[in-house]
Amino acid sequence: KAGVTQTPRYLIKTRGQQVTLSCSPISGHRSVSWYQQTPGQGLQFLFEYFSETQRNKGNFPGRFSGRQFSNSRSEMNVSTLELGDSALYLCASAYSGTGMIAGELFFGEGSRLTVL
Amino acid sequence: GQQLNQSPQSMFIQEGEDVSMNCTSSSIFNTWLWYKQDPGEGPVLLIALYKAGELTSNGRLTAQFGITRKDSFLNISASIPSDVGIYFCAGQLRTSYDKVIFGPGTSLSVIP
């Protein structure tokens, strides 16, 4: 079974630009969550989508947005990039249904964003 | 917002030693989870705990859900080099459909 796929793996942007990251979940998983990982801060929750609807939201500014498509693939967008947005962005999918293990997330390898 | 605190922040141990790390919160959690992240990869679930006082093992790993529901600990026995990585505690506040909140992590280094 293919794992969670994130693209691109690495990217470099400059302040003020915008970026779109993509995530393809494990087949059959309808929940997709996004996290921002920076050294010392752990994983900060951005948002979670389930069946094309945002089900949970973290405490990030409106510059961070996301969406989910009917095939469960998800994208997140960051507009007006700031230096502090440099981070590893992790996507995680979950099987949200009967027999699921609550809290079990399957992570991709992440998209490493550098803002110059 | 809800926050998880982990200690220690980092550990350097000799191969074969036992390891203990813990996680605390000011909020009550219904689910406690422990994840491990290897370099260059995403975190992987090690153990999930759903009941106050629950003690669960997974091989050399043992974790407990604190009685107050505000803390959890993870023990690793007889550490080996492949135990190196970052260990995250995580939790869900209420239902199984809640967001999963992660702590800042404990970095473990094992000296052969």
* B1 in contact with A, Cβ within 8 Å: yes
**Distance (Å) from the alpha carbon of A109 to chain B's nearest alpha carbon:** 5
A84: helix, strand or coil: helix
Query: What pLDDT does residue A99 have?
Result: 64
pLDDT in tens, A1-49: 579 999 999 999 999 999 999 999 999 999 999 999 998 778 999 999 9
pLDDT in tens, B63-86: 999 999 999 999 999 999 999 999
Query: What pLDDT does residue A41 have?
Result: 78
Query: What pLDDT does residue B9 have?
Result: 94
CB neighbours of residue B77 within 10 Å: 14
Contacts of A60 in chain B (CB under 8 A): none
CB B20 within 8 A of CB B74: yes
CB neighbours of residue A77 within 10 Å: 13
Confidence of residue A102 (pLDDT cuts 50, 70, 90): confident
**Is A93 exposed, middle or buried (CB count within 10 Å of its CB: 0-12, 13-18, 19+)?**
buried
- The tokens describing A90, both together, are 């992790």
pLDDT in tens, B15-56: 999 999 999 999 999 999 999 999 889 999 999 999 999 999
Query: What pLDDT does residue B94 have?
Result: 81
- The tokens describing A49, both together, are 């989508």
- Indicate if the pLDDT at residue B11 is higher than 90: yes
Query: What pLDDT does residue B2 have?
Result: 61
A88 alpha-carbon distance from chain centroid:
10
* B25 in contact with A, Cβ within 8 Å: no
Long-range contacts of A63-69 (CB under 8 A, 24+ apart): A66/A34, A68/A32
- Contact criterion met (CB < 8 Å) for A103 and B1: no
pLDDT in tens, A55-68: 999 999 999 999 99
- Chain A interface with B: residues with Cβ < 8 Å: 4, 33, 35, 40-45, 48, 50, 55-56, 58-59, 90, 92, 96, 100-110
Q: What is the DSSP string of chain B?
A: ---EEEE-SEEEEETT--EEEEEEESS--SEEEEEEE-TTS--EEEEEE-STT-EEEETTEEEEE-TTSSEEEEEE-S--GGG-EEEEEEEESSSTTSPPEE---EEEEEE-
- Indicate if the pLDDT at residue B1 is higher than 60: no
Contacts of B38 in chain A (CB under 8 A): none
- Alpha-carbon distance of B99 to B68, in angstroms, equals 21
Confidence of residue A96 (pLDDT cuts 50, 70, 90): confident
Pairing status of strand A64-68 against strand A74-78: antiparallel
Radius of gyration for chain A, computed over Cα atoms and rounded to the nearest angstrom: 14
The closest alpha carbon to A106, from A19, A17, A26, A21, belongs to A26
Confidence of residue B12 (pLDDT cuts 50, 70, 90): very high
Question: CA triplet A65, A69, A30: central angle to 5 degrees?
Answer: 100
